[in-house]
Amino acid sequence: MSNTQPAPVTSERTPLRARKVSFAWEKTPLHWVPGDPFTTHTINVLHLLLPAGERWFIHVYRQVLPYIHDEQLRQDVIGFIGQEAVHSQAHDDVLPRLRELGLDPTPYTAQVDWFFEKLLGDRTLPPGRARTWWLMERVALISAIEHYTAFLGDWVLNADALDRRGADPMMLDLLRWHGAEEVEHRSVAFEVFMHVDGGYRRRARTWATAFSTLVFLWQRGIRFFMENDPSLLNGKGSVKEFYLGGKRGTLPATGDLLRSVPRYLSRGYHPSQEGSTAQAIDYLAHSPAATAAEARMTGTS
């Protein structure tokens, strides 16, 4: 055991609660980053993965609640699952719009649904060690995935290139509201994992699984969208395009991404060391969706 301990930055902690957002999609065009189908579809993969993925997070966390014996962490988890639930709903509600635009995502999402609900589901396991092992494995996977979502959330809050290129404001607000909440709650999944298990071998194993799975799902997702985009003949994606998108700032820079990924394995890693809660809260204070949600909460009698 190394004597380096995860060091949380306490000033980054904030109380978590779900916001009752809504978005109007009828004006969002197919290529919501104008003239850039590759960027559009690379980011669109989020809408394919998150509805099923975040439903699965909640499914797992409902089971892990009894293992949490720290009142503050339990409050964080309760806020976390509400935020994740609304994220899942909000991305899910983009899918009918894609269908309207001639890009039916169902062939892909039905497989992602199977992936999260069956392959990563509860399975028929005897109560006791096997069942606990599988629960802990999934808790660790979520912690690793949240490392990447926090990275993406921080990136999108700072992706000014998307504004400069005239990206659809409604879609940007969805991504940034979501990104900001990911930054807000970026420590929760890691702290849950450290609280209920925290084993380094499990952390490393699930980090590798999560990363390679995400690469697989993303690559296939981009390919699916590019091939089925009704406005593209012979649409294709490539690593080179991804790299160039990173250079332009419309996608995460490949270098940043590669540097960020292994930081999760550092013994002193704590998610609060990366990203800025203040920036996230500032965005949420101005986000059209989040401010309307606020009005709705105070408006209900």
Partner 1 sequence: MPLPLPRLRTVVLVAGAALLTKRALRRRIRSSPLWPLPALEEPVSGHAERRTTATRRLLITERTTPAEGVVQLRLKGSGLPAWQPGAHLDLLLPSGLVRQYSLCGDPADPDTYTIATRLVEDGRGGSREVHERLREGEEVEIRDPRNRFPLAEAPAYLFVAGGIGITPILPMLRSVAASGADWRLLYGGRSRASMPFLDEIEKLDAEGGRVTVVAEDEAGHPDAAAALAATAPGTAVHCCGPEPLMDAVRAALPPGRTLHLERFTAAAASSAGSAPFEVELRRLGRTVQVPADRSVLAAVRDELPYVSYSCEQGFCGTCRQRVLEGEIDHRDELLTDSERDDSMLICVSRCRGERLVLDL
Minimum CB separation from partner 1 for residue 3, in Å? 34
- Calculate the alpha carbon distances from 189 to 39, 85, 91, 204, 287 in Å: 28, 15, 20, 15, 25
Neighbours of 80 (CB within 10 A): 26
CB burial readout 219-238, b (16+ within 10 A) else e: eebbbbbbebbeebeebebe
Residue 274 sits in the site that holds partner 1 (CB under 8 A):
no
The residue from 32, 61, 155, 190 that contacts partner 1 (CB under 8 A) is 61
* Cα dihedral 261, 262, 266, 270 in deg (nearest 10): 0
Residue 179 sits in the site that holds partner 1 (CB under 8 A):
no
Token pair recorded at residue 97: 């719009």
Residue 85 sits in the site that holds partner 1 (CB under 8 A):
yes
Site string for partner 1, 197-236 (x = CB under 8 A): --------------------x--xx-xx--x---------
Exposed/middle/buried for residue 1 (C-beta within 10 Å: 0-12, 13-18, 19+):
exposed
Pick between residue 47 and residue 270 the one whose CB is nearest to partner 1: 47
Helix orientation angle between 129-157 and 200-228, rounded to the nearest 10 degrees = 60
The residue from 23, 134, 211, 269 that contacts partner 1 (CB under 8 A) is 23
Pick between residue 94 and residue 157 the one whose CB is nearest to partner 1: 94
Q: Which of the stretches 32-40, 81-89, 178-186, 264-272 binds partner 1 when contact is defined by CB under 8 A? A: 81-89
Residue 109 sits in the site that holds partner 1 (CB under 8 A):
yes
Q: How far apart are CA 165 and CA 32, in angstroms?
A: 10
The residue from 31, 44, 73, 108 that contacts partner 1 (CB under 8 A) is 108
Pick between residue 223 and residue 263 the one whose CB is nearest to partner 1: 223
Residue 301 sits in the site that holds partner 1 (CB under 8 A):
yes
Residue 57 sits in the site that holds partner 1 (CB under 8 A):
no
Minimum CB separation from partner 1 for residue 62, in Å? 4
Q: How far apart are CA 77 and CA 72, in angstroms?
A: 9
Token pair recorded at residue 230: 């009704």
Q: How far apart are CA 18 and CA 180, in angstroms?
A: 12
Q: Which of the stretches 35-43, 99-107, 137-145, 154-162 binds partner 1 when contact is defined by CB under 8 A? A: 99-107
Pick between residue 190 and residue 224 the one whose CB is nearest to partner 1: 224
Minimum CB separation from partner 1 for residue 70, in Å? 13
Q: How far apart are CA 212 and CA 146, in angstroms?
A: 14
* Cα dihedral 6, 88, 275, 157 in deg (nearest 10): 170
Residue 18 sits in the site that holds partner 1 (CB under 8 A):
yes
Which residues make up the interface to partner 1 (CB under 8 A)? 17-18, 20-26, 48, 51-52, 55, 58, 61-62, 65-66, 78-79, 81-83, 85-86, 89-90, 92-97, 99, 105-115, 117-119, 217, 220-221, 223-224, 227, 292, 295-301
